[in-house]
Structure 1
């Protein structure tokens, strides 16, 4: 650790001499390997529980690596394996649906080899490689970047050679039935491979997976020794050899997933283990060079935060490059089968913990699975808007499956609209509606009013949570706006007009039109549009003008207008949206002790405290850029007064922060240094009596939910404290600020992506900012708040081009141009 801190310090100290150079070069000499390696895991004894194993993955397939005395253990998981669809009628009991697992794999050495003190396990996050060693046994392992293959290199130096057995185990019994759902698993030998297959069927739904394993460099024999296990036993011998395991999955019953998996394995075997190592090294090297954060403080707090940030990036790089986003509850790291708390559905709020911070990392490839999933379901969201709510545009539920939102029979849809829009008394719902709802998954937003009452005399009983149509996520519409706003953010960060036209604008327009046509939005006598019978996240049920929904409308309408103008489309809709926006009701407010704060809802409400502050896990006002450091002083005052209500005793080292909380990030957006200094480390460590596993993950969502939600939230706050690019309101010009909420005792150096497509690199040491470098990926006007008092020298191509003055610095950039800003009095050496 001392050596690492020395490396970090040396990098930070170097930046203070940057101004002494006379050519335009990046002289920060970033040691990416040292920054990433700070997050390495190193164990000197076996973990006590499988959930603390070391993660390796390629974004599509992953596993934790852990040991028992005689064996190395894995559970190979994929992002695209789901036991059932959203239309299932077989998982009406909560937490019984499942996903992602393909099978267990054990490497058994025939005797106890992985025991202390001869034990050592290390994970290199810079290379994505795990090494485990025991008594005369050493194993290097990785998941190949190019194909879905786990590759192991085994060095066996035992004097008494023993067979080594590779075993594949089913995750359940060979045939499992639940309602009309079946899960059939099979084992077989094919050539020199052992094979484990799964097939999930329910009505028209189908998903299959295959896990295959083979040995290279040593003779092996296959045998099936139970109904759930097949093994491949190597003949005795010493030296180095390899074991490979590959997976494949498909929703097409005509696709041969075994053939696909064998093809991947053969590709890896032909390349050879050393070549796979080089492939991964090259990929991860390029990954780490996209952006970085390097921190140091005398008390070690900043170094700790930087370590956790690098770990977050490693986890997301290892798990979010597939056809579907990685799930918050378990990710690719399940170790006890494929059932987990909360099942196979995606909760928007939880997923945001993983994905919100990725924009500034300049890793858009890690965000693509999320966008792909929502875009694929666009047409079904349009149907849901009409069927369920009698509106136009698109309705994206807070809780959704990986697939389309199922369409409804016309008669059920008609009654649903009357019930959910509170036009028909809940007690008058028909028996046909009750029967239809009986078998539906209760975590899906549209059925979330359902309450489990358990099995009684062999019959499953369910009731309603509030004797009404409302449940925790039943009437949340702001998730759609947040997803659409993320589409907009991707455009702002990349300036990709094709993306805006083809992917983002349809979603933005769809959500804007949903709100505008929502039957429970109406213009009142005050001349303002009000929205009724909606939730405020999970806290307020059946509210009026809730802060979530009002913030969502005030956020999405301006960007719909701006996007339409940028694309020169829907000119007839722009004045319609503008009229709607101009006459929207204000955000709900509460005044006490002479201070005005934003509150959750206006009256009436069915459940919850309407005068309470906005949900700390969502902070909708700040999500939609309605309160930033560019906002008017009046807005900032309300924002700060609202923020203070979350901390009755102020913010210090004792302030606890929940896993999902956006309070650290909101504090950074408000320029609150104490929020970053204390809340970010506290969120990473969790509150008292809340466990953090040895691999820095946690089980905060319940059993089988190994996750890094808190790390994603803290990463977002950290980035915003270092560098934020925000407008005075949604759709307005973005302004860059460096070190807007930075603790004075922390030193830092970073390179992050900002809106407008600007990569910003800067540093601070002992409160001094020696430079700000900007690289304009797409060109355009750059606006940045002056980090110094006084005049600022702007350098282009290493030469002083102009002197800027004032608090807001604005200048044009060309595509690909690199610009350096420095305080004018420091720039005399350049003249």
Structure 2
């Protein structure tokens, strides 16, 4: 292929620390273009592609390969259609699913129960298990589980048994195919199950389900009712062959159970957290004699602890480092064997402050596994092989009300710790538990009286509620059983949900199965239509990256994986919950509950616009636009602002609670500082127990609320402006004027009006803001940088949107006046910034704000990013020397950036990475993305649990995808509301090759190739026919031509900083360096991956970070 001439290098933006020369804007008139393109209209991109993309191989480079079974259900592989989803995980004899939906909520905003309480859950509708009989899917050389992202299909193979499954893209059906080629095939048991009793009541709340049948089909219908809330779901299961036998398990024996997933056969939990030093003696008696294995482990997101010594029955090991995992099958670094000869294990753990980085053991424990003489596994009650009999012991901190700390015990272990205020059951001298390793199934546990008294209570970690549900009682499930036969069998599962009480959901679910599974080849017929939808989705854009160390390829995989997750979870009536999404595995348990956070939800949506997947953001915007009436009422009730809308950073799917007038006045008095939370009436406290923001005042926070009224999200209002700016992006990427009218403009108008109502014009002639939070870290700030950025970022957009729609002329004038007289950003040198202290980096850059009611805060770097991203009051196109210097220095001093670059785990500081791309720090990108992903402790499927166990999320993937795309291309305005200018490779590492096609604002689909540090070409396809403005990516003249030039047409030469030209809808324009030969077409077709993919990256300080996608 003919490459671009020497010297035509990929150009990073000029240093923003120095003044930029005046922009030379070269305009090409329509007449000139008509001459330039004379002879024929510009060809469509497909007519003469410089880049031929094999989308299947490009997407398949991110396939998820498991060479061993998922160690826990949360490691399963995701399949979904945007409304209905599940992870897919295996046990030796089964394939397991938990069916989740985006539109199922146990309560609404008027719930009587507490946030994080027993009714605060959503999503889960049923569990499905396909038991193939025998250990056909056990770990071994033949095991393989692969998620094909291109086909959105999961396939498994084991000992002569293969399974395929997908969730149909166009209807809510899970299709499963089992191919049994064993010489002695086994019956197939398709089981539908629930995890809670059939009728559960908590005050006014009631959760019920019942079993239903329709001919050969079985189903379960659940409904939730409380006050004005009704939500129901139905799940149906069908085996079309007609040979299946219905089985209703015998319930006479009560609540029988068996493990599911790679779980433990029995468990209990002993809890403590060591502070400085510890001595923990324990006696486990009534054990069966034999050989045991002890494995220490550590099952949270931190780095683990180190025990000075562990002694069991005279066998001692020293300096034992714990390793991460939620059971012995996830670890194995520190284990040893010992003998039990007198039915007793005497265990002693010791630790000193000198051994371990922080003096804490954090959340650690050990597993005690009995190894039979033959090393054989223990047979289950159905004759199938189960894992070795194991007793799991967890350590965690629990403090009593008087400030002391004791060893506490709870039979259900982690399931109890759903809230740090949960009452504690203290361990008596001896407690007896059922356990398969005990004599007659009993084990006695005694904590020694000489327990070190220096054990101190610790702060509860966020990763409570860890253990997946390990069993389903018999009476909570139904089965369809197929007789043993070789060959392929199919199982189909459907679901439906509604908030309307009179909806016949069983009928809907059964009808889906009846209509789609009649043909003998129903699986393949559905699959063809399913793959067709996904093929169209993947063909919109692509990103292909390469680097010698493989980090670029890995990050491109993460971008692809993120888009897969979003297309699998964000096409329903409501957005998927960020914590668990459609892929929860713990029944009703979901740490952080059923309410939405704008910030954590938005992170996953940021990459969608440039990826030409704007419709995947519609559930997100639709939910908040439906909240507008309640948000307007909340502005009046809580802030006393008559015009505008108050969107809460965290709240229920149906918006803020509408309060009775008297109670509304109480809360307004608290919001505005006229009353403390201690003065709220019992009636006001009762109405503030569920909605997340009201709980900041009404629950236990009131006893530690600084200045009597502030907490993490209590006074944070910029989140509504953040939402409005994103809606503007969606309009500018899609060109959907109807969306501008119904969504973007109402959000812009109402959030700006809230600020106009909150601001006060003071004697200096400037508008000021008082007592508002700057994200969660800085409370009660005056003239905060986030709020001022929100106003400067939304006011010009609201004015421009109103002009386009021809509405609200009076308001436009008021907004212009508001913007003109808005106070400047706070600077570090300001006395108010100096008084706040921790909200500043330097005297000559912005600060978080001025000290208000609360002197509280931490690291300001990520907070100072908001005027840059998402409010875009400064961009690479602003080119103001004073502002350029401020922004560059903030980026350099940002402590989060420094920490990540040096290998510190900093999950949750997403804006730091994106800001790096937005300010042109391309050379940082490899280290920052490599360290950030590693630092989130990612699971094999890309999920991260840094927000807490049962709150696995794709926030990290969204952050990395956005960072990559913003490094590749930006379409940004010099000032908000002005025409955008396309920047090619504005923040890209010179040693990373990139070929990509991404969408920009204005509806331009841009294709770029940069190899070996040389930018070869740029192609621009115009979707709407808008004028195109593109910053010259070469430091030399360049030539603009149509993509398929006619004979003798060499295009037109331009030499300017910014090229502006008119376009015609559907035409393609090619930009090349002057005198460069026309590039030869080439093909992008990465090799198919067959193993898990990994990277390892050495940071500048010598630390090495690494991660793996998949399971070896």
Taking structure 2 as the reference length, what is the TM-score of the superposition?
Answer: 0.69
Change (3 A) 1:802 1:422: same
Q: Which of these residues, 404, 407, 410, is aligned with residue 658 of structure 2?
A: 407
For 2:596 and 2:489, the matched residues in 1 are separated by 41
Matched, 1:269 2:517: yes
Q: Is the 8 A contact 1:121 1:131 kept in 2?
A: yes
Q: How does 1:196-207 map to 2 (within 5 A)?
A: 196-207=220-231
Matched, 1:670 2:694: no
Structure 2: gaps of 5 or more residues: 9-41, 250-473, 830-839, 1081-1112
Matched, 1:78 2:101: yes
Q: Which of these residues, 164, 171, 185, is aligned with residue 147 of structure 1?
A: 171
Q: How does 1:278-297 map to 2 (within 5 A)?
A: 278-297=528-547
Per-residue deviation at 1:463?
A: 4.2
Q: Is the 8 A contact 1:540 1:605 kept in 2?
A: no
For 1:276 and 1:502, the matched residues in 2 are separated by 35
Per-residue deviation at 1:425?
A: 4.5
Partner of 1:459: none
SS in 2 for 1:316: helix
Q: Which of these residues, 327, 334, 345, is aligned with residue 595 of structure 2?
A: 345
Per-residue deviation at 1:700?
A: 1.6
Partner of 1:548: 786
SS in 2 for 1:338: coil
Q: How does 1:41-52 map to 2 (within 5 A)?
A: 41-52=64-75
Q: Which of these residues, 700, 706, 713, is aligned with residue 473 of structure 1?
A: 713
Q: How does 1:300-319 map to 2 (within 5 A)?
A: 300-319=550-569
RCO (CA 8 Å, sep 6+): is it higher in 1 or 2? 2
Q: Is the 8 A contact 2:1008 2:1019 kept in 1?
A: yes
Structure 1: gaps of 5 or more residues: 1-12, 454-461
For 1:425 and 1:52, the matched residues in 2 are separated by 45
Partner of 2:63: 40
Partner of 1:826: 1076
Q: Which of these residues, 928, 932, 957, is aligned with residue 679 of structure 1?
A: 928
Partner of 1:369: 619
Q: How does 1:778-793 map to 2 (within 5 A)?
A: 778-793=1024-1039
For 1:242 and 1:280, the matched residues in 2 are separated by 16
Partner of 1:626: 873
Q: Which of these residues, 899, 907, 910, is aligned with residue 658 of structure 1?
A: 907
Change (3 A) 1:530 1:616: closer
Q: Is the 8 A contact 2:780 2:854 kept in 1?
A: yes
Partner of 1:539: 777
Partner of 2:81: 58
Per-residue deviation at 1:826?
A: 1.1
Partner of 1:333: 583
Change (3 A) 1:698 1:656: closer
Q: Is the 8 A contact 1:324 1:372 kept in 2?
A: yes
Matched, 1:767 2:1010: no
SS in 2 for 1:532: coil
For 1:645 and 1:142, the matched residues in 2 are separated by 47
For 1:428 and 1:653, the matched residues in 2 are separated by 47
Q: Is the 8 A contact 1:724 1:736 kept in 2?
A: yes
Per-residue deviation at 1:338?
A: 2.2
For 1:230 and 1:829, the matched residues in 2 are separated by 63
Change (3 A) 1:381 1:594: closer
For 1:298 and 1:788, the matched residues in 2 are separated by 25
Change (3 A) 1:709 1:617: farther
Larger radius of gyration: 2
Change (3 A) 1:342 1:651: closer
The CA deviation string for residues 524-551 of structure 1, in whole angstroms up to 9 with x for no partner, is 1211111111111111111111111111
Per-residue deviation at 1:741?
A: 0.7
Matched, 1:526 2:526: no
Change (3 A) 1:389 1:649: closer
Change (3 A) 1:338 1:594: closer
Q: Which of these residues, 812, 815, 838, is aligned with residue 577 of structure 1?
A: 815
Q: How does 1:729-808 map to 2 (within 5 A)?
A: 729-796=975-1042, 798-799=1044-1045, 800-808=1050-1058
Root mean square deviation, CA, Å: 2.3
Q: Is the 8 A contact 2:848 2:863 kept in 1?
A: no
Per-residue deviation at 1:651?
A: 7.5
More helix by share: 1
SS in 2 for 1:810: strand
For 1:583 and 1:124, the matched residues in 2 are separated by 55
Q: Is the 8 A contact 1:618 1:661 kept in 2?
A: no
Change (3 A) 1:649 1:92: closer
SS in 2 for 1:33: helix
The CA deviation string for residues 449-506 of structure 1, in whole angstroms up to 9 with x for no partner, is 34448xxxxxxxx745336221110111101001111111111112222221222111
SS in 1 for 2:213: strand
For 1:814 and 1:190, the matched residues in 2 are separated by 57
Taking structure 1 as the reference length, what is the TM-score of the superposition?
Answer: 0.92
Q: Which of these residues, 689, 700, 716, is aligned with residue 962 of structure 2?
A: 716
Matched, 1:565 2:803: yes
Matched, 1:357 2:607: yes
Per-residue deviation at 1:395?
A: 1.0
Matched, 1:138 2:138: no
For 2:705 and 2:669, the matched residues in 1 are separated by 19
SS in 1 for 2:586: coil
The CA deviation string for residues 247-303 of structure 1, in whole angstroms up to 9 with x for no partner, is 111101100111111111123203611111111211111111111100001111111
Q: Is the 8 A contact 1:353 1:660 kept in 2?
A: no
Per-residue deviation at 1:517?
A: 1.5
For 1:170 and 1:15, the matched residues in 2 are separated by 61
